[in-house]
Chains A and B, each alone.
Chain A
Amino acid sequence: MSELSTPLLDKHRELGATIVDFAGWQMPLRYTSDVAEHHAVRTAAGLFDLSHMGELMVTGPDAAAALDYALVGHMSRMKLWAAKYTMICTPQGGVLDDLVVYRRDWEHFMVVANASNRETVVEELRARIAAGGFDAEVADETAAIALIAVQGPRAVDIVTAMCEIGAEDPPALKYYTAANVLLHGGMHAFVARTGYTGEDGFELFVPADLAADVWDLAVAHGADAGLVPCGLASRDSLRLEAGMPLYGNELSRDRSPFEAGLGRVVNFGRADGPERGDFVGRDTLAAVKGSGTAEVLVGLVGEGRRAARAGYTVVDADGATVGVVTSGLPSPTLGKPVAMAYVARSHAEPGTELAADVRGRREPMRVIALPFYRRGA
């Protein structure tokens, strides 16, 4: 795969960021301190470049019907300007990617895919549109669109101050809705109240050639509020504390949304509700919902200092293997090690005392209900 580049790469280098390869993209891992960046988002605001995320435009008279069939959510029921968290699954019910879909017009949806799965999602959407005979098209506009997120309790003030026309919109937006605004300098932006940090926040989809100007505008209006540039390291620690899954860790082709505790995103329709037709994976997912899964995703909290990392074994009091860690780190907010893990249903009850095998030594960890962190709590 060729190396892809965010339009903000020069900006990140100027800021002295540590740059890493992420799914073929050169992206900032951290600027100075990942823990400081993490705390800035929890207490003030952080500025993220997420231009590696895929923006796929699905348009056409059958766009809604096509997504109803291709995804596990009931996308045709979305209101205009709404956002929806959903998934694209295999016929066997495994997760190909988790997605946020925005309805930009009745016949225009923007599907935001993970960078590592973008090509798969494009191919699958096109194949499913062809298979169902839908009149809809998929255009991959990732290269033309930059995604800049402002996240944290001060995000609403900062994004409002960035607006020239539509400044009343950011504070009025409900979580998971979006609006078009004109930023200072005549730059248009699709602004959504969405994020991946567990805080209030906004994601701004802007033309790639305006990305640097929008970034500077955010810095100019955010500096007094404590806005700091944040890299992907803090994005990962923030999402983990918020109990949000990461594709490749918690989500994969080998696990269904039900195992991940996200069965709610699978919409089978109801007898007394709007009709919901067939969708890819429906039969298998219905069976999984009925039978329950052998393993479930849980949160683990340790009292020690050594963190369980992805791939480590989870054992019960007798030392028998009962699961595997999918993500884990020392939580900056809690000051304790936290992890997400798939464990046998028999050991998934909150309060269950388990242990993680941390490089040959058992570290006690207790099952708790996700998330680890809830804002305002």
Chain B
Amino acid sequence: MAEIPDNLLYSEEHEWVRGDVSPGSVVTVGITDYAADALGDVVYVEAPSVGDEVKAGDVCGELESTKAVSELYSPVTGAVTEVNPQLENAPDLINSDVYGEGWIFKVELSESAQDLMDPDEYADKTE
């Protein structure tokens, strides 16, 4: 059973969002345990760059495992302020610590996040 922490919000495309989702605040984004399980060992992460404008629901990168490749969607709209530097050499952090060291990027929100699911809603979706 995939882990779904109760202090995060979740997107349709299986990303998690940590932090206050009102305009001007900075949130952290990663993929969920469910998504990481489906991919298998992640061997390459192409994340957006610092300064990139990302839009909720749009593709902003990709994740590659031996078995498959998956697009990375931004769950929120805003400017990228930071990208996890560890993923360049240790992409497997996404498998070993998906909600911690395996975070992917941070975004300063230009508008309120919408259409994110709470943990219960996300659990229903991935049942």
Q: Which residues of A contact B (CB under 8 A)?
A: 18, 29-30, 33-36, 38, 233, 236-237, 305-307, 309, 329-330, 332, 359
Contact = CB atoms under 8 A, between A and B. Distances in A.
Contacts of B44: 305-306, 330
Nearest to B69: A309
16 contacts: A34-B40, A34-B65, A34-B66, A35-B41, A35-B43, A233-B67, A305-B64, A306-B46, A306-B62, A306-B64, A307-B64, A307-B69, A330-B44, A332-B66, A359-B62, A359-B69
B11 interface: no
Contacts of A309: 69
A329 B95 contact: no
Size category of the B interface is 10 to 19
A305 B64 CA distance: 9
Contacts of A38: 66
Interface in B6-61: 37, 40-41, 43-44, 46
Contacts of B66: 34-35, 38, 233, 237, 329-330, 332
B67 A34 contact: yes
Contacts of B92: 33, 35
Contacts of B40: 29-30, 33-35, 233
Contacts of B69: 307, 309, 359
Contacts of A18: 37
Contacts of A36: 41
Given A306-B44, A306-B46, A33 B95 contact: yes
Nearest to A33: B41
A320 to B, nearest CB: 25
Interface of B: 37, 40-41, 43-44, 46, 62, 64-67, 69, 92, 95
Interface SS, A side = mixed
A33 B46 CA distance: 21
A305 B44 CA distance: 7
A48 to B, nearest CB: 16
Contact of A330 (B37, B43, B62, B95): B43
Top 3 closest pairs, chain A to chain B, by CB: A35-B41, A305-B44, A330-B43
A34 B95 CA distance: 11
Q: Which of A30, A35, A236 has the most CB of B within 10 A?
A: A35
Contacts of A29: 40, 67
Contacts of A305: 44, 64
B17 to A, nearest CB: 25
B37 to A, nearest CB: 7
Contacts of A330: 43-44, 64, 66
B65 to A, nearest CB: 8
Nearest to A38: B66
Q: Which of B40, B41, B65 has the most CB of A within 10 A?
A: B41
B45 to A, nearest CB: 9
B13 to A, nearest CB: 16
B122 to A, nearest CB: 20
A332 B66 CA distance: 8
A18 B40 CA distance: 10
Contacts of B64: 305-307, 330
A18 to B, nearest CB: 7
Given A33-B95, A329-B67, 17 more contacts: A29-B67, A30-B40, A33-B40, A33-B41, A34-B40, A34-B41, A34-B65, A34-B67, A36-B41, A233-B40, A236-B67, A305-B64, A306-B44, A306-B62, A309-B69, A332-B43, A359-B69
Contacts of A35: 40-41, 43, 66, 92
B34 to A, nearest CB: 12
A272 B86 CA distance: 65
A231 to B, nearest CB: 9
A307 B40 CA distance: 15
Q: Which of B40, B46, B65, B66 has the most CB of A within 10 A?
A: B66
A340 to B, nearest CB: 15
A29 B38 CA distance: 10
